Amino acid sequence: MQNITLGYAMTGSFCTLKASLAALENLARLPIKIKPIMSEMVYNTDTRFFKASDLIEKVENICGEKIIHDIVGAEPIGPKNLLDILVVAPATGNTLSKTALGITDTAVTMAIKAHLRNNKPVVLGIATNDALGGSAKNIGLLHNTKNIYFVPYRQDDPHSKNNSLICNFSLITETVEAALKGNQLQPVII
């Protein structure tokens, strides 16, 4: 994998941002260009996991580019054909459901919609506490959607959070490589 432009989007599963950053750092070691994207919530929210300004600085330093963080910034991804592949990790149940239903009201959902119009792959790294609850039917729809690929995932904590799923962030690079060839990395459920 080289000489591609990869979009890397983050949504509000704040407890998984550290793992997502590690995956982003791994991708940044490759001879590729990375365009960072954040949901407005991630871009503007201080949490116990990260101060927003610290997270922004870290991501921009890794990518060497300013973060796309609003709908206006994300919209040109489609018409200007800016990306070869888009990764969303973490992808919350909210973002997954909006994507399945065609709702475009954040920078990340706009990036997904804009990128899909070019018939190119989107890789989703699930991290949500309601994946096997309210979001399950929408995740099922996405599994049957052209150009959507999933980072292999598992139950997060089946006894304390029985509806929660989380991707294996260490498999993002491998999933991207497979998706660029039109293949879903298997097994998708681990």
Do 164 and 157 touch, CB atoms closer than 8 A?
yes
Give the mean model confidence (pLDDT) for residues 157-175.
94
Do 85 and 179 touch, CB atoms closer than 8 A?
yes
Judging by DSSP bridges, how do beta strands 85-91 and 122-128 pair with one another? Answer: parallel
For every residue of 126-173, DSSP letters joined together read: EEETTTTTTTHHHHHHHHTSTTEEE--EEEEETTTEEEEEEE-GGGHH
Give the pLDDT band of residue 10 (cuts 50, 70, 90): very high
DSSP element (H, E) containing 10: strand 5-10
Query: In this structure, which amino acid lies at residue 168?
Result: N
Q: How far is CA 63 from CA 13, 34, 82, 88, 110, in A?
A: 20, 6, 15, 15, 20
User: ∠ CA(163), CA(169), CA(175), 5° rounding?
Assistant: 105
Residue 1 scores a pLDDT above 90: no
Segment 31-58, tens digit of pLDDT:
999 999 999 999 999 999 999 999 999 9
Q: Cα 24 to the chain's mean position, in Å?
A: 11
Which residues, other chains included, contact 2 with Cβ-Cβ below 8 Å and sequence gap of 6+?
30, 31, 32
Query: In this structure, which amino acid lies at residue 55?
Result: L
pLDDT of residue 90: 98
pLDDT of residue 2: 84
Pick among 3.20.20.70, 2.40.30.10, 3.40.50.1950, 1.10.15.40: CATH of 7-180: 3.40.50.1950
Give the pLDDT band of residue 96 (cuts 50, 70, 90): very high
Give the mean model confidence (pLDDT) for residues 5-26.
96
Bridge partners, residue 69, by sequence: none
- For the entire predicted model, the pTM comes to 0.97
Do 20 and 90 touch, CB atoms closer than 8 A?
yes
Instruction: Locate the domains of the chain by residue range.
Output: 7-180
Q: Report helix angle 93-101 to 136-143, nearest 10.
A: 60
